[in-house]
Amino acid sequence: MAKQKGNNEYKMRNEAFMEALRNGEEELYEISQGVLCKIIERGEGDKCPRNGNVVTVHYKGSLINGKVFDSSYERGYPEAFRVNELITGWQIALTQMHVGDHWIVYIPWEMGYGKKGSGNIPGYSTLVFEMELVAIM
């Protein structure tokens, strides 16, 4: 019972975080399905990736408390991914980005790892990603 109460509190904190972003004064845009973004830099690319494309992305992923759970910046090189194999929030963001775009993307738990989480990411986690679309292959 205590674990369920803790999960509910964590879920509510994450949902409140997203609601505060939606109502805040920062220049954030809702892309789709609750995914928000802040544009840091606009790229010069002329097209957006589609779901079947492989993309190269530099990124840093963190939780709402600032804890970083993954970072290509720390490894020193961007990573390649097939868009349709990523979490829904990344698919939504990437298919709107142009090469060279640098965004902060806020992904609600439903568009991330859901109720169960993944590895060191707890269930119901809002995900915060700094993302740079380096290339579309």
Catalytic residues: 59, 69-70, 87, 113, 129
Q: Where on the phi/psi map is residue 70: left (φ > 0), alpha (ψ -120 to 50), or beta?
A: beta
Query: In whole angstroms, what is the distance from residue 89 CA to residue 111 CA?
Result: 5
Q: CB-hemisphere CA count at 13 Å for 74?
A: 8
How does DSSP assign 27-51, residue by residue? --EEEETTEEEEEEE----S----T
**How many residues can be counted in the chain?**
137
Query: In whole angstroms, what is the distance from residue 66 CA to residue 100 CA?
Result: 25
